[in-house]
Structure 1
Amino acid sequence: MRILLISDIHANWPALQVVASEPHDLCFFLGDLVDYGVEPAPCVDWVRRHARFAVRGNHDHGAAQDVIVNGKAGFKYLTGITRAVTRARLTPADLRYLGQLPISRTLSIDSTRFLLVHASPRDPLDEYAPPDVEFWKRRLENVEADVICVGHTHHPYVLQVADKLVINPGSVGQPRDGDPRCSYAVIEDYNVELKRVSYPIEQTVHAVENSDLPDAVKAMLADVYRRGAPVIANGHKP
Protein backbone atom coordinates (compact mmCIF):
# COMPACT_ATOMS: atom_id res chain seq x y z
CA MET A 1 0.00 0.00 0.00
CA ARG A 2 1.47 3.30 -1.14
CA ILE A 3 -0.01 6.32 0.65
CA LEU A 4 0.39 9.90 -0.58
CA LEU A 5 0.36 12.24 2.42
CA ILE A 6 -0.27 15.90 1.62
CA SER A 7 -1.11 19.08 3.51
CA ASP A 8 -1.42 22.85 3.21
CA ILE A 9 -2.24 23.21 -0.48
CA HIS A 10 -3.51 26.77 -0.02
CA ALA A 11 -5.22 27.08 -3.40
CA ASN A 12 -1.99 26.52 -5.34
CA TRP A 13 -3.34 24.51 -8.25
CA PRO A 14 -0.10 24.25 -10.30
CA ALA A 15 1.65 22.80 -7.24
CA LEU A 16 -1.10 20.29 -6.51
CA GLN A 17 -1.17 19.06 -10.10
CA VAL A 18 2.52 18.15 -9.89
CA VAL A 19 2.21 16.38 -6.54
CA ALA A 20 -0.91 14.54 -7.70
CA SER A 21 1.17 12.78 -10.34
CA GLU A 22 3.06 10.88 -7.61
CA PRO A 23 2.02 7.21 -7.91
CA HIS A 24 -0.17 6.19 -4.98
CA ASP A 25 -2.92 3.84 -3.88
CA LEU A 26 -4.43 6.12 -1.25
CA CYS A 27 -4.25 9.84 -0.50
CA PHE A 28 -4.50 11.38 2.96
CA PHE A 29 -5.04 15.16 3.14
CA LEU A 30 -4.23 17.01 6.37
CA GLY A 31 -6.04 20.30 5.87
CA ASP A 32 -5.74 23.86 4.57
CA LEU A 33 -7.00 23.72 1.02
CA VAL A 34 -7.63 27.45 0.78
CA ASP A 35 -6.43 31.05 1.30
CA TYR A 36 -3.27 32.75 0.02
CA GLY A 37 -3.56 31.23 -3.46
CA VAL A 38 -6.24 32.27 -5.93
CA GLU A 39 -7.30 28.92 -7.42
CA PRO A 40 -9.21 27.23 -4.61
CA ALA A 41 -11.95 25.61 -6.71
CA PRO A 42 -9.87 23.02 -8.63
CA CYS A 43 -7.96 22.20 -5.43
CA VAL A 44 -11.16 21.56 -3.49
CA ASP A 45 -12.51 19.47 -6.36
CA TRP A 46 -9.36 17.36 -6.57
CA VAL A 47 -9.22 16.62 -2.85
CA ARG A 48 -12.94 15.87 -2.73
CA ARG A 49 -12.57 13.33 -5.55
CA HIS A 50 -9.17 11.83 -4.79
CA ALA A 51 -8.32 12.08 -1.07
CA ARG A 52 -9.79 8.98 0.56
CA PHE A 53 -9.34 10.53 4.01
CA ALA A 54 -9.21 14.28 4.67
CA VAL A 55 -9.37 16.58 7.68
CA ARG A 56 -10.17 20.25 8.14
CA GLY A 57 -7.48 22.89 8.59
CA ASN A 58 -7.79 26.26 10.29
CA HIS A 59 -8.03 28.04 6.94
CA ASP A 60 -10.73 25.66 5.71
CA HIS A 61 -12.64 26.29 8.93
CA GLY A 62 -12.24 30.06 8.65
CA ALA A 63 -13.33 30.19 5.02
CA ALA A 64 -16.35 27.97 5.63
CA GLN A 65 -17.44 30.02 8.64
CA ASP A 66 -16.62 33.36 6.96
CA VAL A 67 -14.26 34.30 9.78
CA ILE A 68 -12.93 37.83 9.37
CA VAL A 69 -9.17 38.15 9.93
CA ASN A 70 -7.83 41.64 10.61
CA GLY A 71 -4.10 40.98 10.76
CA LYS A 72 -1.83 43.97 10.21
CA ALA A 73 1.22 42.11 8.91
CA GLY A 74 2.59 38.80 7.75
CA PHE A 75 0.43 35.78 7.08
CA LYS A 76 -2.51 37.03 9.14
CA TYR A 77 -2.64 40.07 6.88
CA LEU A 78 -2.45 37.87 3.78
CA THR A 79 -5.16 35.60 5.16
CA GLY A 80 -7.50 38.51 5.75
CA ILE A 81 -6.99 39.95 2.28
CA THR A 82 -7.14 36.67 0.35
CA ARG A 83 -10.12 35.26 2.27
CA ALA A 84 -12.51 37.32 0.15
CA VAL A 85 -11.02 35.85 -3.04
CA THR A 86 -11.32 32.36 -1.57
CA ARG A 87 -15.01 32.72 -0.81
CA ALA A 88 -15.80 34.48 -4.08
CA ARG A 89 -14.23 31.66 -6.12
CA LEU A 90 -15.91 28.78 -4.28
CA THR A 91 -19.47 27.57 -4.60
CA PRO A 92 -21.77 27.15 -1.60
CA ALA A 93 -21.25 23.39 -2.01
CA ASP A 94 -17.47 23.86 -1.86
CA LEU A 95 -17.75 25.89 1.33
CA ARG A 96 -20.05 23.29 2.88
CA TYR A 97 -17.52 20.61 2.02
CA LEU A 98 -14.77 22.55 3.82
CA GLY A 99 -16.96 23.09 6.87
CA GLN A 100 -18.02 19.46 7.05
CA LEU A 101 -14.53 18.00 6.97
CA PRO A 102 -13.76 16.34 10.33
CA ILE A 103 -11.12 17.91 12.56
CA SER A 104 -9.51 14.51 13.06
CA ARG A 105 -9.68 11.01 11.58
CA THR A 106 -8.61 7.68 12.96
CA LEU A 107 -8.27 4.67 10.70
CA SER A 108 -6.40 1.42 10.27
CA ILE A 109 -4.53 0.31 7.17
CA ASP A 110 -2.98 -3.17 7.17
CA SER A 111 -3.13 -3.28 11.00
CA THR A 112 -1.37 0.11 11.33
CA ARG A 113 -3.43 2.69 13.23
CA PHE A 114 -3.31 6.25 11.85
CA LEU A 115 -4.40 9.54 13.39
CA LEU A 116 -4.86 12.40 10.93
CA VAL A 117 -5.10 15.94 12.28
CA HIS A 118 -4.14 19.32 10.91
CA ALA A 119 -2.28 20.84 13.86
CA SER A 120 -1.91 18.59 16.94
CA PRO A 121 -3.96 16.03 18.87
CA ARG A 122 -4.53 18.56 21.68
CA ASP A 123 -5.55 21.43 19.39
CA PRO A 124 -6.54 20.05 15.99
CA LEU A 125 -6.78 23.39 14.20
CA ASP A 126 -4.27 25.84 15.59
CA GLU A 127 -1.37 24.52 17.67
CA TYR A 128 2.06 24.58 16.02
CA ALA A 129 3.75 21.25 16.72
CA PRO A 130 7.57 21.36 16.41
CA PRO A 131 9.80 18.36 15.68
CA ASP A 132 10.57 18.01 19.38
CA VAL A 133 10.42 14.64 21.13
CA GLU A 134 9.55 16.05 24.57
CA PHE A 135 6.72 18.13 23.11
CA TRP A 136 5.30 15.10 21.35
CA LYS A 137 5.63 12.82 24.39
CA ARG A 138 3.14 15.08 26.17
CA ARG A 139 0.82 15.30 23.18
CA LEU A 140 0.75 11.54 22.62
CA GLU A 141 0.10 10.39 26.19
CA ASN A 142 -3.52 9.43 25.46
CA VAL A 143 -3.27 8.86 21.72
CA GLU A 144 -3.96 5.33 20.55
CA ALA A 145 -2.33 5.32 17.13
CA ASP A 146 0.87 4.06 15.59
CA VAL A 147 1.33 6.86 13.07
CA ILE A 148 0.31 10.46 13.74
CA CYS A 149 0.06 12.66 10.65
CA VAL A 150 0.01 16.46 11.05
CA GLY A 151 0.54 19.56 8.94
CA HIS A 152 0.05 23.28 9.72
CA THR A 153 3.69 24.30 10.23
CA HIS A 154 4.69 24.11 6.54
CA HIS A 155 7.91 22.42 7.69
CA PRO A 156 8.36 18.70 6.94
CA TYR A 157 9.70 16.22 9.47
CA VAL A 158 9.54 12.61 10.62
CA LEU A 159 9.95 11.94 14.34
CA GLN A 160 10.07 8.68 16.28
CA VAL A 161 8.49 9.11 19.72
CA ALA A 162 8.76 5.86 21.70
CA ASP A 163 6.69 3.37 19.72
CA LYS A 164 4.87 6.03 17.67
CA LEU A 165 5.81 7.79 14.47
CA VAL A 166 4.95 11.44 13.82
CA ILE A 167 4.94 12.65 10.21
CA ASN A 168 4.58 16.20 8.96
CA PRO A 169 4.72 16.21 5.14
CA GLY A 170 5.24 19.97 4.91
CA SER A 171 3.28 22.11 2.48
CA VAL A 172 2.30 21.36 -1.09
CA GLY A 173 1.37 24.91 -1.97
CA GLN A 174 3.38 27.25 0.25
CA PRO A 175 6.59 25.81 1.74
CA ARG A 176 8.22 28.01 4.39
CA ASP A 177 11.46 26.20 5.14
CA GLY A 178 13.58 27.99 2.56
CA ASP A 179 12.95 25.47 -0.21
CA PRO A 180 10.23 26.63 -2.64
CA ARG A 181 9.59 23.15 -4.03
CA CYS A 182 6.41 21.29 -3.10
CA SER A 183 6.77 19.16 0.01
CA TYR A 184 4.89 15.93 0.70
CA ALA A 185 5.40 12.41 2.02
CA VAL A 186 4.97 8.87 0.75
CA ILE A 187 4.29 6.04 3.19
CA GLU A 188 4.86 2.50 1.98
CA ASP A 189 5.16 -0.60 4.17
CA TYR A 190 5.69 1.63 7.23
CA ASN A 191 8.62 3.34 5.52
CA VAL A 192 8.32 7.10 5.14
CA GLU A 193 9.94 9.23 2.47
CA LEU A 194 9.78 13.01 2.61
CA LYS A 195 9.82 14.26 -0.95
CA ARG A 196 10.36 17.57 -2.74
CA VAL A 197 9.40 18.33 -6.31
CA SER A 198 9.66 21.47 -8.40
CA TYR A 199 6.51 23.02 -9.80
CA PRO A 200 5.89 25.93 -12.20
CA ILE A 201 6.05 28.69 -9.60
CA GLU A 202 5.64 31.42 -12.19
CA GLN A 203 2.25 29.98 -13.19
CA THR A 204 1.12 30.44 -9.61
CA VAL A 205 2.60 33.94 -9.50
CA HIS A 206 0.90 34.78 -12.81
CA ALA A 207 -2.49 33.70 -11.45
CA VAL A 208 -1.97 35.90 -8.40
CA GLU A 209 -0.88 38.85 -10.51
CA ASN A 210 -3.99 38.53 -12.68
CA SER A 211 -6.29 38.56 -9.67
CA ASP A 212 -8.00 41.53 -8.02
CA LEU A 213 -5.71 41.45 -5.00
CA PRO A 214 -3.91 44.67 -4.03
CA ASP A 215 -0.53 45.12 -5.67
CA ALA A 216 1.29 44.96 -2.33
CA VAL A 217 -0.32 41.59 -1.57
CA LYS A 218 0.57 40.27 -5.02
CA ALA A 219 4.20 41.22 -4.42
CA MET A 220 4.27 39.61 -0.97
CA LEU A 221 2.79 36.36 -2.24
CA ALA A 222 5.13 36.22 -5.24
CA ASP A 223 8.09 36.64 -2.90
CA VAL A 224 6.89 33.86 -0.58
CA TYR A 225 6.36 31.46 -3.49
CA ARG A 226 9.75 32.19 -5.04
CA ARG A 227 11.74 31.96 -1.80
CA GLY A 228 9.75 29.23 -0.08
CA ALA A 229 10.07 31.23 3.10
CA PRO A 230 7.94 33.42 5.40
CA VAL A 231 6.81 36.94 4.64
CA ILE A 232 9.44 39.61 5.12
CA ALA A 233 7.95 42.93 6.20
CA ASN A 234 10.01 45.96 7.10
CA GLY A 235 13.13 43.83 7.06
CA HIS A 236 11.93 41.20 9.52
CA LYS A 237 9.75 38.12 9.65
CA PRO A 238 6.51 38.91 11.47
Structure 2
Amino acid sequence: MRTLVLGDLHSNWWALKAVIDAAGPVDRTLCTGDLVDYGPAPRRCVEWVREHAERVVRGNHDHAVAQRVPALGNDGLRAVAAHARARQWEELGPELLRYLARLPVCETFDLDGRETLMVHGSPRDPLDDYAPADADGWRDRLTDVTAGLVLVGHTHTPYAVEVERPDGGRTTILNPGSVGQPRDGDPRAAYAIIDGREITLHRVAYDPTPAVEALRACGLPAEVLETAEALLRTGRRPCLRGAAPPPTALRPRPAAICPG
Protein backbone atom coordinates (compact mmCIF):
# COMPACT_ATOMS: atom_id res chain seq x y z
CA MET A 1 0.00 0.00 0.00
CA ARG A 2 1.13 3.54 -0.76
CA THR A 3 1.34 5.79 2.32
CA LEU A 4 1.80 9.56 2.40
CA VAL A 5 3.71 10.77 5.47
CA LEU A 6 3.71 14.48 6.22
CA GLY A 7 4.19 16.83 9.14
CA ASP A 8 4.92 20.36 10.31
CA LEU A 9 2.27 21.95 8.11
CA HIS A 10 2.19 25.09 10.23
CA SER A 11 -0.99 26.54 8.76
CA ASN A 12 0.47 26.76 5.25
CA TRP A 13 -2.39 25.59 3.03
CA TRP A 14 -0.61 26.48 -0.22
CA ALA A 15 2.32 24.20 0.59
CA LEU A 16 -0.04 21.43 1.72
CA LYS A 17 -2.04 21.70 -1.53
CA ALA A 18 1.19 21.37 -3.52
CA VAL A 19 2.07 18.19 -1.60
CA ILE A 20 -1.39 16.73 -2.09
CA ASP A 21 -1.21 17.34 -5.83
CA ALA A 22 2.37 16.06 -6.16
CA ALA A 23 1.85 12.91 -4.10
CA GLY A 24 -1.04 11.72 -6.22
CA PRO A 25 -3.31 8.85 -5.17
CA VAL A 26 -2.38 7.22 -1.85
CA ASP A 27 -3.95 4.49 0.25
CA ARG A 28 -3.45 6.27 3.56
CA THR A 29 -2.03 9.46 5.05
CA LEU A 30 -0.09 9.74 8.31
CA CYS A 31 0.71 13.07 9.99
CA THR A 32 3.53 13.60 12.50
CA GLY A 33 2.01 16.76 14.01
CA ASP A 34 2.31 20.54 14.11
CA LEU A 35 -0.65 21.26 11.89
CA VAL A 36 -0.89 24.84 13.14
CA ASP A 37 0.90 28.03 14.19
CA TYR A 38 3.05 30.50 12.22
CA GLY A 39 0.99 30.45 9.01
CA PRO A 40 -2.28 32.15 8.03
CA ALA A 41 -4.54 29.18 7.15
CA PRO A 42 -4.88 26.89 10.19
CA ARG A 43 -8.52 25.96 9.59
CA ARG A 44 -7.97 24.66 6.06
CA CYS A 45 -4.99 22.60 7.15
CA VAL A 46 -6.66 21.09 10.21
CA GLU A 47 -9.88 20.31 8.34
CA TRP A 48 -7.97 18.55 5.56
CA VAL A 49 -5.93 16.47 7.99
CA ARG A 50 -8.97 15.61 10.09
CA GLU A 51 -10.79 14.39 6.98
CA HIS A 52 -7.96 12.60 5.19
CA ALA A 53 -5.32 11.41 7.64
CA GLU A 54 -5.71 7.92 9.05
CA ARG A 55 -3.49 8.71 12.04
CA VAL A 56 -2.29 12.02 13.48
CA VAL A 57 -0.17 12.81 16.53
CA ARG A 58 -0.03 16.06 18.46
CA GLY A 59 2.91 18.39 17.94
CA ASN A 60 4.25 20.94 20.39
CA HIS A 61 2.59 23.80 18.48
CA ASP A 62 -0.72 21.91 18.30
CA HIS A 63 -0.50 21.50 22.06
CA ALA A 64 0.27 25.18 22.70
CA VAL A 65 -2.45 26.46 20.40
CA ALA A 66 -5.05 24.03 21.77
CA GLN A 67 -4.22 25.09 25.32
CA ARG A 68 -4.46 28.78 24.34
CA VAL A 69 -0.95 29.52 25.56
CA PRO A 70 0.56 32.82 24.32
CA ALA A 71 3.92 32.33 22.59
CA LEU A 72 7.17 33.37 24.24
CA GLY A 73 9.75 35.65 22.62
CA ASN A 74 10.05 38.92 20.76
CA ASP A 75 12.34 38.18 17.84
CA GLY A 76 12.76 35.72 14.97
CA LEU A 77 10.30 32.84 14.72
CA ARG A 78 9.09 33.36 18.27
CA ALA A 79 7.79 36.77 17.29
CA VAL A 80 6.00 35.24 14.28
CA ALA A 81 4.31 32.69 16.55
CA ALA A 82 3.48 35.33 19.14
CA HIS A 83 1.73 37.58 16.66
CA ALA A 84 0.01 34.70 14.85
CA ARG A 85 -1.28 32.86 17.92
CA ALA A 86 -4.43 34.92 18.53
CA ARG A 87 -5.36 34.56 14.86
CA GLN A 88 -5.02 30.77 15.18
CA TRP A 89 -7.46 30.69 18.10
CA GLU A 90 -9.95 32.91 16.32
CA GLU A 91 -9.94 30.98 13.05
CA LEU A 92 -9.95 27.48 14.52
CA GLY A 93 -12.74 28.03 17.01
CA PRO A 94 -13.77 25.67 19.84
CA GLU A 95 -14.40 22.56 17.74
CA LEU A 96 -11.03 22.41 15.98
CA LEU A 97 -9.17 23.47 19.13
CA ARG A 98 -10.77 20.48 20.88
CA TYR A 99 -9.68 18.26 18.00
CA LEU A 100 -6.06 19.40 18.44
CA ALA A 101 -6.22 19.00 22.22
CA ARG A 102 -7.45 15.42 21.90
CA LEU A 103 -4.79 14.25 19.45
CA PRO A 104 -2.62 11.51 20.96
CA VAL A 105 1.04 12.28 21.65
CA CYS A 106 2.03 8.89 20.23
CA GLU A 107 0.54 6.12 18.12
CA THR A 108 1.68 2.50 17.79
CA PHE A 109 0.22 0.50 14.91
CA ASP A 110 0.90 -2.04 12.19
CA LEU A 111 1.95 -0.58 8.85
CA ASP A 112 1.93 -3.27 6.18
CA GLY A 113 3.22 -5.90 8.57
CA ARG A 114 5.76 -3.71 10.37
CA GLU A 115 5.34 -2.45 13.92
CA THR A 116 5.33 1.35 13.68
CA LEU A 117 5.59 4.08 16.29
CA MET A 118 4.67 7.69 15.42
CA VAL A 119 5.49 10.74 17.57
CA HIS A 120 6.28 14.38 16.87
CA GLY A 121 9.61 14.62 18.71
CA SER A 122 10.96 11.25 19.81
CA PRO A 123 9.88 8.31 22.01
CA ARG A 124 11.89 9.91 24.83
CA ASP A 125 9.92 13.19 24.66
CA PRO A 126 7.00 12.98 22.21
CA LEU A 127 6.41 16.73 21.94
CA ASP A 128 9.68 18.56 22.39
CA ASP A 129 12.73 16.37 21.76
CA TYR A 130 14.73 17.72 18.81
CA ALA A 131 16.17 14.59 17.19
CA PRO A 132 18.36 15.09 14.09
CA ALA A 133 19.55 12.34 11.74
CA ASP A 134 22.22 11.02 14.08
CA ALA A 135 22.37 7.23 14.45
CA ASP A 136 24.17 7.29 17.82
CA GLY A 137 21.75 9.84 19.24
CA TRP A 138 18.80 7.85 17.99
CA ARG A 139 20.12 4.61 19.47
CA ASP A 140 19.90 6.20 22.92
CA ARG A 141 16.33 7.27 22.16
CA LEU A 142 15.21 3.73 21.29
CA THR A 143 15.59 2.13 24.71
CA ASP A 144 12.54 -0.13 25.26
CA VAL A 145 11.31 0.55 21.71
CA THR A 146 10.64 -2.55 19.58
CA ALA A 147 9.09 -0.91 16.51
CA GLY A 148 10.83 -1.49 13.21
CA LEU A 149 9.72 1.91 11.93
CA VAL A 150 9.55 5.20 13.84
CA LEU A 151 7.92 8.26 12.24
CA VAL A 152 8.81 11.70 13.63
CA GLY A 153 8.80 15.42 12.79
CA HIS A 154 9.79 18.59 14.67
CA THR A 155 13.24 19.21 13.11
CA HIS A 156 11.76 20.50 9.82
CA THR A 157 14.52 18.53 8.07
CA PRO A 158 13.79 15.34 6.11
CA TYR A 159 15.77 12.17 6.66
CA ALA A 160 15.58 8.39 6.77
CA VAL A 161 18.18 6.55 8.84
CA GLU A 162 18.46 2.93 9.96
CA VAL A 163 19.59 2.45 13.55
CA GLU A 164 20.62 -0.59 15.58
CA ARG A 165 18.58 -0.57 18.77
CA PRO A 166 20.00 -1.36 22.22
CA ASP A 167 18.24 -4.77 22.05
CA GLY A 168 20.07 -5.64 18.83
CA GLY A 169 17.11 -5.11 16.51
CA ARG A 170 17.02 -2.54 13.76
CA THR A 171 14.70 0.43 13.38
CA THR A 172 14.24 2.85 10.50
CA ILE A 173 13.65 6.44 11.59
CA LEU A 174 11.71 8.52 9.06
CA ASN A 175 11.27 12.27 9.28
CA PRO A 176 9.32 13.53 6.24
CA GLY A 177 10.50 17.12 6.78
CA SER A 178 8.20 20.12 6.89
CA VAL A 179 5.33 20.79 4.52
CA GLY A 180 4.81 24.40 5.46
CA GLN A 181 8.08 25.68 6.88
CA PRO A 182 11.29 23.86 5.80
CA ARG A 183 14.43 25.00 7.62
CA ASP A 184 17.17 23.12 5.76
CA GLY A 185 17.89 25.72 3.10
CA ASP A 186 15.39 24.26 0.62
CA PRO A 187 12.07 26.16 0.63
CA ARG A 188 10.19 23.45 -1.26
CA ALA A 189 7.50 21.59 0.66
CA ALA A 190 8.70 18.21 1.96
CA TYR A 191 6.94 14.87 2.37
CA ALA A 192 7.63 11.13 2.22
CA ILE A 193 6.06 8.13 0.54
CA ILE A 194 6.18 4.62 1.98
CA ASP A 195 5.38 1.92 -0.58
CA GLY A 196 5.72 -1.49 1.03
CA ARG A 197 9.22 -1.42 2.55
CA GLU A 198 10.48 1.33 0.22
CA ILE A 199 10.77 4.86 1.61
CA THR A 200 11.30 7.89 -0.63
CA LEU A 201 11.74 11.52 0.39
CA HIS A 202 10.22 14.16 -1.87
CA ARG A 203 10.19 17.94 -2.35
CA VAL A 204 7.75 20.01 -4.36
CA ALA A 205 8.06 23.68 -5.31
CA TYR A 206 5.18 26.06 -4.70
CA ASP A 207 4.68 29.82 -4.80
CA PRO A 208 4.72 31.18 -1.22
CA THR A 209 3.41 34.59 -2.31
CA PRO A 210 -0.26 33.85 -1.40
CA ALA A 211 0.84 32.73 2.07
CA VAL A 212 2.90 35.91 2.51
CA GLU A 213 0.02 38.09 1.34
CA ALA A 214 -2.37 36.31 3.70
CA LEU A 215 0.04 36.98 6.58
CA ARG A 216 0.23 40.62 5.51
CA ALA A 217 -3.58 40.81 5.59
CA CYS A 218 -3.47 39.52 9.18
CA GLY A 219 -1.74 42.74 10.18
CA LEU A 220 1.67 41.38 11.21
CA PRO A 221 4.21 44.10 11.99
CA ALA A 222 6.61 44.74 9.12
CA GLU A 223 9.66 43.21 10.81
CA VAL A 224 7.71 40.09 11.83
CA LEU A 225 6.33 39.69 8.31
CA GLU A 226 9.88 40.06 6.96
CA THR A 227 11.02 37.16 9.15
CA ALA A 228 8.16 34.92 8.05
CA GLU A 229 8.61 35.75 4.37
CA ALA A 230 12.38 35.17 4.46
CA LEU A 231 11.88 31.69 5.87
CA LEU A 232 9.17 30.76 3.37
CA ARG A 233 11.25 31.94 0.41
CA THR A 234 14.67 30.62 1.47
CA GLY A 235 14.04 27.67 3.76
CA ARG A 236 16.48 29.14 6.27
CA ARG A 237 15.73 30.26 9.79
CA PRO A 238 16.20 34.06 9.98
CA CYS A 239 17.08 35.90 13.16
CA LEU A 240 15.70 39.39 12.91
CA ARG A 241 14.71 41.90 15.53
CA GLY A 242 11.00 41.72 16.14
CA ALA A 243 8.32 43.72 17.83
CA ALA A 244 7.33 42.82 21.37
CA PRO A 245 4.84 39.94 21.37
CA PRO A 246 1.57 39.78 23.23
CA PRO A 247 1.65 38.84 26.95
CA THR A 248 3.37 35.51 27.51
CA ALA A 249 2.99 32.49 29.73
CA LEU A 250 4.82 29.23 30.18
CA ARG A 251 3.48 26.32 28.15
CA PRO A 252 2.26 23.45 30.32
CA ARG A 253 4.02 20.13 29.84
CA PRO A 254 2.03 17.00 28.99
CA ALA A 255 2.02 14.15 31.45
CA ALA A 256 1.89 11.42 28.79
CA ILE A 257 5.09 9.62 27.86
CA CYS A 258 5.20 7.41 24.79
CA PRO A 259 5.56 3.71 25.59
CA GLY A 260 8.08 1.50 23.88
What is the TM-score when the length of structure 2 is the normalising length? 0.88
**Alpha-carbon distance in 2 for matches of 1:180, 1:130:** 19
> What residue number does 1:9 align with?
9
CA offsets 1:56-83 (integer angstroms, 9 cap, x no match): 0000000000112221222222222211
- In 1, distance between residues paired with 2:65 and 2:192? 26
2:73 aligned with 1:66: no
- Of residues 35, 51, 54, the one that matches 1:52 is 54
Alignment partner, residue 214 of structure 2: 207
From 164, 169, 193, give the equivalent of 2:176. Answer: 169
Structure 1 counterpart SS, 2:37: coil
Written as runs of structure 1 = structure 2, the 5 A alignment for 1:141-180 is 141-162=143-164, 163-180=170-187
Counterpart of 1:36?
38
The alpha-carbon deviation at position 124 of structure 1 amounts to 0.5
Specify which of 61, 78, 85 is matched with residue 76 of structure 1. 78
Structure 2: tracts of 5 or more residues without a match: 165-169, 242-260
Shift of 1:208: 1.2
Partner of 2:109: 107
State the 4+ residue runs in structure 1 displaced beyond 3 angstroms. none
Distance 2:206 2:89 in 1: 25
What corresponds to 1:197 in structure 2?
204
Q: Counterparts of 2:72 and 2:139 in 1: how far apart (Å)?
A: 35
**Equivalent residue of 2:92, what SS?**
coil
Query: How far apart are 1:193 and its partner, in Å?
Result: 0.4
Q: Distance in 1 between matches of 2:115 and 2:76?
A: 37
For structure 1, the 5+ residue unaligned runs are none
User: What is the deviation of 1:160?
Assistant: 0.5
| One-letter amino acid of the counterpart of residue 128, structure 1 | Y
Cα deviation, 1:169-207, whole Å, max 9, x if unaligned, reads: 100000000000001100111111000001121111121
Q: Secondary structure at the match of 2:108?
A: strand
Which of 86, 89, 94 is the matching residue for 2:88? 86
Shift of 1:46: 0.1
Q: TM-score, normalised by structure 1?
A: 0.96
User: What is the identity percentage for the equivalent residue pairs of Structure 1 and Structure 2?
Assistant: 45
1:211 counterpart letter in structure 2 = C
Root-mean-square deviation over aligned CA pairs: 1.0
Deviation track 1:192-233 (CA, whole Å, cap 9, x = no partner) reads 100000112111112112212222211111111001110232
Q: Distance in 1 between matches of 2:71 and 2:211?
A: 23
